[in-house]
Amino acid sequence: MSTRVKHISNECNGALSAIRDTLYVLSGKWKIQVIVLLRDGPMRFNELQRSLVDITPKVLSKELRELELNEFVERKVFNTVPVTVTYEITPYAATLDPIINSLKEWGTQHRARIVEHMKQESKQPVSS
């Protein structure tokens, strides 16, 4: 039995490659949430952790390092006693605004759709 492999256009391959890159950089449930929180201004590590329910310090530290590596977040160390460290978004992070806004809009619409669907299902009589 032979399997046929459909030829994928260069345009499609390019699109898939770009999408893979984007998903790789923004993967996980925390990175975008961190960026959204930092849009309101710099925050310290503990402030971020308290704002992100259920994130562990180890995971938050990893996410912040990856966001810093990809130039979305800047870590600033202040020479105070004790040392103060804050995180803030970089100007480059603003390039994510259209993506984040689209995700927010879609998420709002999707939640409303699912809630409405659940309401409709609960109104239907149970068949025996």
Cβ contact 17:11 at 8 Å: no
pTM of the predicted model over 0.95: no
Q: How confident is the model at residue 123 (pLDDT cuts 50, 70, 90)?
A: confident
Q: Using CA atoms, how far apart are residues 125 and 107, in angstroms rounded to an integer?
A: 30
User: Count of CB atoms within 10 A of residue 108's CB?
Assistant: 10
Res 11: pLDDT? 85
Give the pLDDT score at 88.
98
Distance CA 38, CA 89 (A): 6
Q: What is the pLDDT of residues 3-50, one digit of tens each?
A: 666 777 888 888 999 999 999 899 989 999 999 999 999 999 999 999
pLDDT value at position 3? 64
- Taking the domains of the chain in order of start, what are their residue ranges? 28-121
What pLDDT shows up at residue 126? Answer: 63
Which CATH number is 28-121 given? 1.10.10.10
